[in-house]
Structure 1
Amino acid sequence: MSRLTDLLAKAKAKDSQLGADLEREFKVLSSRLSFGLNFERHSPEAVELPLRSIRKGDKVRVLPERGSAKKGDQRLWQVKAIHKAQNIADLELLDTAEPEMQSAPLSELIVVAEFRDTIYPGLVSTGKVTRGGDKPFHSVINGENYHVLKALTYTHRGKIDAIYIDPPYNSGAKDWKYNNDYVEGDDLYRHSKWLAMMERRLFVAKELLNPADSVLIVTIDEKEYLRLGLLLEQVFPEAKIQMVSSVINPFGVARAGQFARVDEYIFIVNFGQSVPVQTPIQTLQVGDSMQVNGDEDLAEQAGENLKKVDKTTYWFSFMRAGSNSSRSHSPGCFYPIFVSKDGAIKAIGHPLPKGESKDNVKTPAGTYAAWPVNEAGGEAVWQASHENAKQLLASGYIRSGRFNKKLGRHSITYLREGTVEAIANGLLTIADGEINRVVEQTRTYVGKSTWNIRSHNATSQGTKLLGRILPRRKFPYPKSLYAVEDALRFFVSDKPDAIILDFFSGSGTTAHAVMRLNRQDGGRRQCISVTNNEVAADEQKALREQGLRPGDAEWEKYGICDYITKPRVAAAITGKTPSGDPIKGDYKFTDEFPMADGFEENAEFFTQTYEAKNAVNHNLAYARIAPLLWLRAGAKGSRIDELPVEGWAVADTYGLLNEVDEATPFIDAVGAVNGLRIAYIVTDDDRRFQAIAKRLPEGVEPVRLYESYLSNFSFANGE
């Protein structure tokens, strides 16, 4: 709207009547707001690429001086020429009426990519962890998530089974940037910038999701949930959308002048046949020593990562009360129980004949005699004969408790006949005096729209858990590992080979949760985690004062991806912290085992690159495109990282033919590999490509390089 206002002003200056007429029509149109969400799209976003080398034709900014906290020149310049001998570039100012030129050292420039620009992406591997044998690799990609999503349109279009994202909540506390500027609480366009940022990414995510059966899960809090709900309705009109409320902090987070916040919201967007799976609950261990905060039924809904509270009382007083409880009524049940001073029952004595005083009974050394005497001093009886009591003691079904000063003895409790029978039949178990019920039948639960589950506490199972994995490394508000695990379980528990994407991956919780799901059912799911390497706002200030800036090694090592995401995924797999120490503590709930055990999984870490079209066309960028070919083929097994000198090569899941004259041995090799999915054929001749494609074994997809790659991004990235 601001752009139209400027244009109207110019029209008025040149022709007042024309300008007035246009303004009148504009007001009429602007008053006809369409139903739904209306917001400013703003100019397309731009991202700075500090690690990208500068090329002729690039858009760049001039960096501020080292040590300066100033924002620097935000204008965009185009590189017209590069003088390598002097390491200087000639620049021309963009979007200006009057031409302006300058020269600047290459070291003082940073490449800028606008989101309307066509990009040709690549990936560079920065490390891997392999403990999963032939399982597919999880991927962690360091890059601007919009551009990585564009890259994934080549590798995973229509193939993603689930997307889980935790986008910035737009709190106004420097939690995200728009065009290299933090969006703060007093920004008049704060909400529309957030919506524009989300809309662009959701449109690309729509291309990646399997339209026949997939789910998008988005978490948000009260600041943007209304706008997000409308945005999801507009971007995905064909989907089924529901919102869940989830308690993440039962103690509450203070909001000035408002109720304390205990929950957040989860939007569930289902496509095609996707529905939440009814989760089977088998062999519930139920004990009165375990507690759950909140409704018991809610604790069961997410696949029961909690143990339901059993309010049944099993241990009852062994002294009879009420009618028929006197010694004279049942003299055979009046006998001593010999208890050691530390409270352990040592033996069961014999009943006393009528009239004989209990004071005459001798006690074994180190014990005292506990009698069924009530607080008033009256002689009562025990619940069972001394022979039955001896059997109870031998089975562990009678025990002593706290010392009762009024009775002058330890309390004595026992298990009733029905409980003993249930233990004998396997319906109950006893260990160290604790009774657990075993529910043998399988039950299923459909999730409810409010989740109040102990394991979803973001403090104990998010912040504190991450602190054990990455000691002394801070990350703001990580999600509970088990909250993400439970949300995904509803939609991928029946998909052991599911592909899950998180393009706001932050600390890497989603990848961690997918590993846990795999361990629980032997699945081979893989997760693609996308995050940038942004340094937190507070840390940026300190680093700039040291004379550092983006692109410097000492700066980049504190970025989110290198400092948190990659180390967290690696540590989860190996079971060791970045310093090599075993991770302390155990995983809880659904799957309980030491965190130091790690996972039998594979993961590889990548940084996104930006390639030149001519370099791609002439096979000069193959090394950076190779990981994309491998990802498209399933991210499994070996990879062809270099152009084969023989003219062809075959990996575990795909083959590459870069010399079409070698088609015959290539086709023979492809046919000899079981499970090979794709054959990449490098040729500019469509007829030769078609001829080779017809000779491939059935089930092998032919893909023409680099035509498929270039056309994908020429089409997908133009805005």
Structure 2
Amino acid sequence: MENKVSMEIFNPINENLKKLESLFPEIVKDGQVDFEALKQELGQFEEVGKEKYELTWPGKTQAKQLANTDIVGRTLKYVPEDSKNPETTENLYIEGDNLEVLKLLRNSYYGKIKMIYIDPPYNTGNDFVYRDDYSVSAMENDKNEGNIDEEGNRLIKNQAGSGRFHSNWLNMMYPRLKLAKDILSDDGIIFISIANQEIDNLKKVCDEIFGSTNCLGIIDWESKTKCQNTKTAKYQLQNKQEYIFVYKKSSLRYEFALKLTEHRIYPEVDENGKRYRLEQIGEMSASGIRGRNTMIFSIDGVYPKEGNQWKYGIETIEKFRERGDLLIKNEKAYFRIREFDEEDKMEPFWSFISKEIGTAETAKAELKAIIGEHGFETVKPVALINKLIFHVCSNDKNSIILDFFSGSATTAHAVMQLNAEDGGNRKFIMVQLPEPCDEKSEAYKAGYKNICEIGKERIRRAGEKIKEEFKDKEGIENLDIGFKVFKVADTNIRWNNNSFKEAEDLYIKGLSKDALDFNPNFTDIDVVYEIMLRHRDFPLTSKIEKLSNIGERTYIFADAIVVCLEEKVTDKIVDGIAAIEPKPIKVIFRDSAFEDDISLKLNTMNRLDAQLKKHNQGKEQSYRVEFI
């Protein structure tokens, strides 16, 4: 039986079955779970009754199912004209519904993302709209007033008076967080910004998905310095802060990277190479109840000023002397404060971040300085996200950071900034729905038709600005400030058998075999990327090379998978593929290239096998052949 390229991208059920089988091999039999055997393996335990502690809401079951279903008939289409430095960059910007994007990325990035930061809608009654099957975030524009979206779906504003106000938000968040957990690495961390409206519900959902013991804390960020509505200030407490939930993926012990505290970076070095700083021995008034004659004495000829006494007694001074830390300079007495052990020099990752790092207002101004008028009200400061990335990704400077509610692309800006500061090579993946900007907004007047245009332009300008700021730093020319752009689109490949007859009729009428295999408006590169998404551990930034010496439509990605889209497979093409070094692990052909000629297909596969053995000096070559 020949192997077909799978229509599936990722099968969550099979993945979960594999995890269960790895723990209890004897309970999975012919792909089915023996639940009685599982109970026996678990031993005596108390089963959950009908009444149990959990958060539930209308639609939760469907939200769970949504997370556990694969995506069918959709792909990511490469947009080279919007990309920057596409030949060298390892960064991605993806336009589309983030639920679809997460499903499309799940196979390629399963367990590969070190850090996720998201700033989802806070459910204020104004900040997201929803359709029947999924919810999306939205800036205030004509569409969230109940108009029609680009696909003809009526959008409904999730207003606070709605009977399912909280349920709609939870149904939007739950499947996305489930998918986020799948692509986090075992030592990965997720940060989720939130405000008061849904903080309780988010905590319960995250405890359910990630586990309550994996909650590392909640950060309070001082996001405001002034009251937003002074008329209500006397009726209710005014919020100065927003929150950032911090969860790890697994039970692995996690250690944050920490910074040296500024006051302990000591400037002086002693004769043994140990760092220290000098502090003058202080004085205090000798009058009143604290006045003591025993605190007035000579320290190597230096006395306190008249009317004063030393803050330290003679015993303490002698201890300084014994340690070699007593110094007299310019007729003043000092003692050395020596650098402590490294752990004592570190500033903790505090659960409170003050306004000094930036507020929502300063972040809006920061963005405006880069791209002009933008219309964003909930921008985060670059320094805030930079700080989060530092604490998680300083020990892994090649890590991947994902933001699937990327908005104005602050996270991408922060990644590039930190890389410039410490020479890292961290990569970013930004995901954003291309929501239209209000035609009356300043952003629209400035030429930005949707949020994605703002995000992409911000990355372009911020990258150049960072390179200019660090132009004198060694190696800054290697800073990756590019990104490849992809958009969610319909599949390029005719997977559906129902359309086969239609395509076959077109082929018989004289059209090329492309009409039989592919949908209109496809490109070869689109097909290669779509196939790439179906392979584990091959990121979308993997190199794609056209093998022009073999054929005009033959490609290889990641130096591992050959995709032969030639309409006819000749001996020259087969011999060329067999001669590739290093040897590919898989070769993919078009079924139509063999025109239902079983003998031709068999002879071609035999020739490929023989040629591979020839180039491998007679040794067996492990590889796989599939067909589309």
5 Å-filtered alignment, 1:158-557, equals 158-179=111-132, 180-210=155-185, 212-237=186-211, 240-249=214-223, 251=225, 253=227, 256=232, 257-272=235-250, 274-282=252-260, 284=262, 416-418=332-334, 443=344, 445=346, 447=348, 450-459=351-360, 462-536=363-437, 539-540=438-439, 557=448
- 1:184-208 Cα offsets, whole Å, 9 max, x none, are 2222211100000111222322332
Q: Confirm whether residue 626 of structure 1 aligns to residue 533 of structure 2.
A: no
Equivalent-residue separation in structure 1 for 2:625 and 2:236 (angstroms): 59
Which is richer in helix? 2
Q: Give the aligned partner of residue 97 of structure 2.
A: 144
Question: Which residue, out of 119, 123, 136, partners 2:73?
Answer: 119
SS of residue in 2 equivalent to 1:623: helix
Q: Confirm whether residue 649 of structure 1 aligns to residue 555 of structure 2.
A: yes
What's the offset of the Cα at 1:123? 1.3
Q: Give the aligned partner of residue 608 of structure 1.
A: 488
What's the offset of the Cα at 1:529? 0.4
Question: Which residue, out of 46, 59, 62, partners 1:41?
Answer: 59
Q: Is the contact made by 1:246 and 1:450 (CA closer than 8 Å) also made in structure 2?
A: yes
Equivalent-residue separation in structure 2 for 1:273 and 1:117 (angstroms): 30
Equivalent-residue separation in structure 2 for 1:690 and 1:263 (angstroms): 68
Q: Is the contact made by 1:141 and 1:528 (CA closer than 8 Å) also made in structure 2?
A: yes
Q: Is the contact made by 1:485 and 1:514 (CA closer than 8 Å) also made in structure 2?
A: yes
**Residue identity matched to 1:130:** N
Equivalent-residue separation in structure 1 for 2:423 and 2:605 (angstroms): 40
Distance 1:689 1:128, change over 3 A: farther
What's the offset of the Cα at 1:459? 3.2
What's the offset of the Cα at 1:228? 1.0
Distance 1:603 1:474, change over 3 A: same
Q: Is the contact made by 2:116 and 2:401 (CA closer than 8 Å) also made in structure 1?
A: yes
What's the offset of the Cα at 1:480? 1.9
Q: Which has the larger radius of gyration?
A: 1
What's the offset of the Cα at 1:38? 1.4
5+ residue gaps, structure 1: 1-30, 46-114, 289-310, 324-332, 334-373, 375-396, 399-413, 428-437, 544-552, 577-581, 708-719
Q: Give the aligned partner of residue 451 of structure 2.
A: 560
What's the offset of the Cα at 1:152? 0.8
What's the offset of the Cα at 1:157? 2.6
5 Å-filtered alignment, 1:88-127, equals 118-125=72-79, 126-127=81-82
Q: Is the contact made by 1:277 and 1:493 (CA closer than 8 Å) also made in structure 2?
A: no
What's the offset of the Cα at 1:127? 2.2
Q: Is the contact made by 1:165 and 1:505 (CA closer than 8 Å) also made in structure 2?
A: yes
**Residue identity matched to 1:160:** I
Distance 1:524 1:229, change over 3 A: same
Equivalent-residue separation in structure 2 for 1:169 and 1:240 (angstroms): 23
5+ residue gaps, structure 2: 1-48, 64-68, 133-154, 267-276, 293-301, 307-327, 495-513, 592-597
- 1:222-258 Cα offsets, whole Å, 9 max, x none, are 1101111111223334871243132233635457432
What's the offset of the Cα at 1:679? 4.8
Equivalent-residue separation in structure 1 for 2:574 and 2:434 (angstroms): 42
SS of residue in 2 equivalent to 1:504: coil
- 1:101-141 Cα offsets, whole Å, 9 max, x none, are xxxxxxxxxxxxxx99833213131422239x95x521111
Q: Normalised by the size of structure 2, how large is the TM-score?
A: 0.59
What's the offset of the Cα at 1:598? 11
Q: Is the contact made by 1:283 and 1:440 (CA closer than 8 Å) also made in structure 2?
A: no
Equivalent-residue separation in structure 1 for 2:346 and 2:606 (angstroms): 52
Q: Is the contact made by 1:166 and 1:505 (CA closer than 8 Å) also made in structure 2?
A: yes
Q: Is the contact made by 1:172 and 1:183 (CA closer than 8 Å) also made in structure 2?
A: yes
Seq. identity, % = 19
What's the offset of the Cα at 1:151? 1.3
Q: Give the aligned partner of residue 129 of structure 1.
A: 84
Q: Normalised by the size of structure 1, how large is the TM-score?
A: 0.52
Q: Give the aligned partner of residue 303 of structure 1.
A: none
Q: Is the contact made by 1:455 and 1:482 (CA closer than 8 Å) also made in structure 2?
A: no
Aligned CA-pair RMSD: 5.2
Question: Which residue, out of 563, 568, 574, partners 2:464?
Answer: 574
Q: Is the contact made by 1:282 and 1:440 (CA closer than 8 Å) also made in structure 2?
A: no
Distance 1:624 1:182, change over 3 A: farther
Q: Is the contact made by 2:418 and 2:424 (CA closer than 8 Å) also made in structure 1?
A: yes
Distance 1:534 1:285, change over 3 A: same
Distance 1:448 1:284, change over 3 A: closer
**Residue identity matched to 1:147:** E
Which is richer in strand? 1
